[in-house]
Amino acid sequence: MRKDIFLTNNLTNKKEKFFPINEKKVGMYVCGPTVYDDPHIGNARPLVIFDILFKVLKCEYGESAVNYIRNITDVDDKIIKSANDNNISIEDLTNKVIKDFQIDCDYLNLESPSKEPKATDHINEMINMISELTKKKFAYEKNNHVYFEVKKFKDYGKLSNKNLDELIAGSRVEISEEKKNPEDFVLWKPSTNDEPYWDSPWGKGRPGWHLECSAMSKKYLGNQFDIHGGGIDLIFPHHENEIAQSRCANDTKSFANYWVHNGFITTSNEKMAKSQGNILSIKDVKSLGAGQVLRLALMSAHYKQPLDWNQKLFQDCQNTIQKWYNGIDKEIYLFANPVGKKLLNKKVIIPDKILEPLYDDLNTPGYIANLHKLFDKMLIGDENDKEIFISACNFIGLLIESKEDWEYYRFKCAKIESTEINNKVKLMDKARENKDYAVSDRIREELQDIGIVLENKDGKTIWKLK
């Protein structure tokens, strides 16, 4: 008997029971990275959240029944600008960032999606969709530009729950003399000689960003599918525009049936973004600890809520995983995992009561609370309790490394950072000698926040990992 899965659907602003179009072919599309720079931990949140949803869907409908598509945008104005700023070719830039992104995905213990299509491999599909929209009079051409005429789609703004005037007033609308109306958005635009281009009925050019996801989701999931996901910042204009162009081109009453969006990561309650200058890349976090620590941190708040990032959060999650490893006296691997670790020859069934929070709108904090209860039970229980606990951790991508690998990773990180830590300790001691206790205390707190224990020995400050 099927267990009920509930998701918050931003199309209706309600938590709803999930009913797939076809139980044997569940389709999910999630907007992936635009590969112009290294992903930051704000980008990592949807990667982890929808990885968990992927696991839940497979758990319920079967490994082969779920088709999870996560695209890579490798043609975009940001990419062109970044390549120019760094004086490298667009191909070299995108190849490097894609490679780094895949390394970050492994670091986060993500399962590979069913397919990870690149935009540049699907230009023909985009040209075909634009041709369909122009033929149906939803799009128009002017001076080698093609625009979607928003006013011709009566349901525009339904996902954002705002009318057109409100959306225009609350966003930056690209001004262009080529447009009929300010709100119209570009489907195709001409390229200059030093920009990437493809031949099309409208001249040499490249596609608009919004069009890419519509074309790729159509190819791999069809005209209508079950779940579309991404960060909350994509609701408008990206997802709103996807709905408009897809429904009009495909002549359907719906595009995706469930729209699931995760909240922002903030620092000091401000959105983490490159424009804010408060970015912490995944690469930056690697020097602090294993990927499962960041993974646990990203799951510590419900996906719909903002998550305020700070070193204490990371340290608390590291301490939690360390405590769990301390409670395990031998290696047990139960679920297949993305990094190819050895497996036990059986799978331990996780009780429904433990999984229940994940089925209720991906309530990861509730599931983590269940893990803490399982751990306490394991300490006084038998081998079966231990196997259930580790299996439940493995299910959400935790404890997939051996205890030895975990300890080695922490030691390795400490070695990488040893020069910087030694320098900070010297600065702290110097400040204390100068009776600048405010500076001395601040440095001590910074080191403690990243798990460094400081001791005074023979008049010298020494440090070690907590």
Model pLDDT for residues 386-405, shown as the tens digit of each residue: 999 999 999 999 998 887 77
Separation in Å, CA 158 to CA 27, 240, 244, 248, 353 = 22, 8, 10, 15, 36
Q: Give 173's pLDDT tier (boundaries 50, 70, 90).
A: low
Selected residue with higher pLDDT from 148 and 434: 148
Least confident of 27-36, 278-287, 302-311, 426-435: 278-287
The DSSP element (H or E) to which 432 belongs, if any, is: helix 403-433
Using the structure block, give the residue that is written with the tokens 């719906």.
Answer: 254
In the prediction, which pLDDT does 202 show?
97
In the prediction, which pLDDT does 452 show?
75
In the prediction, which pLDDT does 167 show?
76
- Spell 290-314 as b/e; 16+ CB within 10 A means b: bbbbbbbbbbbbbbbebbebeeebb
Q: Evaluate if residue 30 carries a pLDDT over 80.
A: yes
Q: Evaluate if residue 207 carries a pLDDT over 50.
A: yes
What does the longest C-alpha to C-alpha distance in the chain come to?
Answer: 83
CA dihedral 348, 354, 355, 359 (to 10 degrees): 170
Least confident of 66-70, 95-99, 255-259, 387-391: 387-391
Sign of CA dihedral 429, 431, 436, 441: negative
Q: Give 344's pLDDT tier (boundaries 50, 70, 90).
A: very low
E strands along 108-222, which residues? 139-142, 145-148, 185-190, 205-207
Q: Where are the alpha helices (DSSP H) in 36-178?
A: 41-61, 77-85, 90-107, 123-135, 164-169
- Enter the tokens of residue 236: 């408008």
The DSSP element (H or E) to which 421 belongs, if any, is: helix 403-433
Range among 81-95, 373-387, 435-449 with highest mean pLDDT value = 81-95
- Burial degree of 186 (CB within 10 A; 0-12, 13-18, 19+): buried
In the prediction, which pLDDT does 162 show?
86
Q: Give 413's pLDDT tier (boundaries 50, 70, 90).
A: low
Q: Evaluate if residue 331 carries a pLDDT over 50.
A: no
- Burial degree of 269 (CB within 10 A; 0-12, 13-18, 19+): exposed
| Closest listed residue to residue 361, CA positions, set 4, 2, 1, 32 | 4
Selected residue with higher pLDDT from 410 and 323: 323
The DSSP element (H or E) to which 28 belongs, if any, is: strand 26-30
In the prediction, which pLDDT does 409 show?
67
Least confident of 77-91, 415-429, 433-447: 415-429
Q: Could you tell me the pTM of the whole model?
A: 0.85
Q: Evaluate if residue 241 carries a pLDDT over 70.
A: yes
In this structure, are residues 309 and 280 in contact, taking their beta carbons and an 8 Å threshold? yes
Average pLDDT of span 279-299: 87
In this structure, are residues 107 and 283 in contact, taking their beta carbons and an 8 Å threshold? no
Q: Give 338's pLDDT tier (boundaries 50, 70, 90).
A: very low
In this structure, are residues 20 and 26 in contact, taking their beta carbons and an 8 Å threshold? yes
Q: Where are the alpha helices (DSSP H) in 192-310?
A: 209-221, 240-250, 282-286, 291-298
In the prediction, which pLDDT does 406 show?
81
In the prediction, which pLDDT does 275 show?
67
Average pLDDT of span 217-229: 98
- Enter the tokens of residue 104: 């970050």
How high is the mean pLDDT of the chain?
A: 89
In this structure, are residues 466 and 453 in contact, taking their beta carbons and an 8 Å threshold? yes
Q: Evaluate if residue 339 carries a pLDDT over 50.
A: no
Q: Which amino acid is at 454?
A: L
Selected residue with higher pLDDT from 384 and 167: 384
Least confident of 138-147, 197-206, 276-285: 276-285
Q: Evaluate if residue 336 carries a pLDDT over 70.
A: no
What digits encode the pLDDT tens for the residues 107-160? 999 999 999 999 999 999 999 999 999 999 999 999 999 999 999 999 999 999
| Omega prior to 237 cis, within 30 of 0 | yes
Report d(CA 161, CA 166) in Å as an integer.
10
Q: Give 334's pLDDT tier (boundaries 50, 70, 90).
A: very low
In the prediction, which pLDDT does 332 show?
42
What digits encode the pLDDT tens for the residues 33-59? 999 999 999 999 999 999 999 999 999
- Enter the tokens of residue 465: 């990992």
Report d(CA 273, CA 393) in Å as an integer.
31
| Closest listed residue to residue 184, CA positions, set 160, 231, 221, 151 | 151
